[in-house]
Homo-oligomer: A and B are copies of this chain.
């Protein structure tokens, strides 16, 4: 398990880089860094609240070790005595409803039975879908994936469609992105490739969001868009509390609740049987929350 010390050190540095890039782009908000220690390990939760552009953003780093409980054995279908895990997890909720929510996670998980793997993903959740943003987002992901393995993007894109999905709403969370889990390795070359991939994603993440921050910082909006944003944030809360594996694993393994739930938006709304008017941005967005959209080739069929 000594590999994990090196990985944790790199992830810790990447957390600092991500925060500093985002602070620069925001211009006003500052991340407050909150180190925490519990029985299972520790981490640092960096949280930015009420920035100029980012309303609530969290960049968490954690490095934990513990007993591999029977509950985890069931969850992960592996047998072991102890586990160790390290990762970065981040979500950014913008003030401007035209700007998307973004999420990134990279993680390394090691069992004392010799099995270990990388997992992670980046996905984009626009409150209002602008197809050209989804396209440029997916192109950026594909470009980074392709530098490591040409099979990564197509496989991980589909995995994201399946994972970032709310079955009870029959909606994807947003326009997807990439998701991967249990990427195992059998030699040091494979290890370096996967580790390097997670490092590149951690660098790509703030770069992608900085572009959105430039584009939408001063985009005008009305109460209608803010109301819609609160309702879409409600869906985000549903996904995170009902489905998100990291949230589930974190809360069940005795992780730091405030860090785990720092992913929740500053506010959210629910309205019974909310049905948007035909042809508004709300209905157009709902129609695009589907699995299997080829965003890179996307041509809107409405004018």
* A234: B residues at CB distance < 8 A: 264
Cβ A264 vs Cβ B270 within 8 A: yes
Q: Determine if A267 is an interface residue (Cβ-Cβ < 8 Å).
A: yes
| Interface hub of A34, A234, A264, A270 (most chain B Cβ within 10 A) | A270
- C-alpha gap A132/B45 in the complex (Å): 40
Cβ B273 vs Cβ A258 within 8 A: yes
Among candidates B167, B169, B260, B272, residue contacting A47 with C-beta atoms closer than 8 Å? B272
- C-alpha gap A266/B241 in the complex (Å): 17
Within 8 A of B (CB), among A216-236: 230, 234
Cβ B168 vs Cβ A272 within 8 A: no
Q: A168-B251, A168-B257, A238-B241 are in contact. Are A266 and B266 (CB under 8 A)?
A: no
Among candidates B230, B238, B258, B273, residue contacting A272 with C-beta atoms closer than 8 Å? B258
Q: Mark A32-74, 1 if CB is under 8 A from B, else 0.
A: 0010000000000101010000001010000000000000000
Q: A268-B267, A272-B49 are in contact. Are A251 and B242 (CB under 8 A)?
A: yes
Among candidates B237, B262, B272, B273, residue contacting A237 with C-beta atoms closer than 8 Å? B237
Cβ A271 vs Cβ B238 within 8 A: no
Tell me the nearest residue of chain B to A238, going by C-beta.
B241
* A261: B residues at CB distance < 8 A: 168, 238, 270
Q: Determine if A1 is an interface residue (Cβ-Cβ < 8 Å).
A: no
Q: Mark A236-270, 1 if CB is under 8 A from B, else 0.
A: 01100110000000010000011011101111111
A159 CB to nearest chain B CB (Å) = 22
Cβ B168 vs Cβ A267 within 8 A: no
Tell me the nearest residue of chain B to A230, going by C-beta.
B267
- C-alpha gap A260/B242 in the complex (Å): 13
Tell me the nearest residue of chain B to A264, going by C-beta.
B270
Tell me the nearest residue of chain B to A274, going by C-beta.
B258
Q: A241-B238, A242-B251, A251-B168 are in contact. Are A272 and B267 (CB under 8 A)?
A: no
- C-alpha gap A241/B237 in the complex (Å): 9
Cβ A268 vs Cβ B268 within 8 A: yes
Among candidates B56, B167, B251, B272, residue contacting A262 with C-beta atoms closer than 8 Å? B272
Cβ B267 vs Cβ A269 within 8 A: yes
Tell me the nearest residue of chain B to A234, going by C-beta.
B264
* A binding-site residues for B, Cβ under 8 Å: 34, 45, 47, 49, 56, 58, 167-169, 230, 234, 237-238, 241-242, 251, 257-258, 260-262, 264-273
**Extra A-B contacts (4), CB below 8 Å, given A47-B272, A56-B270, A267-B268:** A45-B272, A238-B261, A265-B270, A266-B271
A selection of 18 A-B contacts at a CB cut-off of 8 Å is: A45-B272, A47-B272, A47-B273, A56-B272, A58-B272, A168-B261, A237-B241, A238-B241, A238-B261, A242-B242, A258-B272, A261-B270, A262-B272, A264-B270, A265-B270, A266-B270, A267-B268, A268-B269
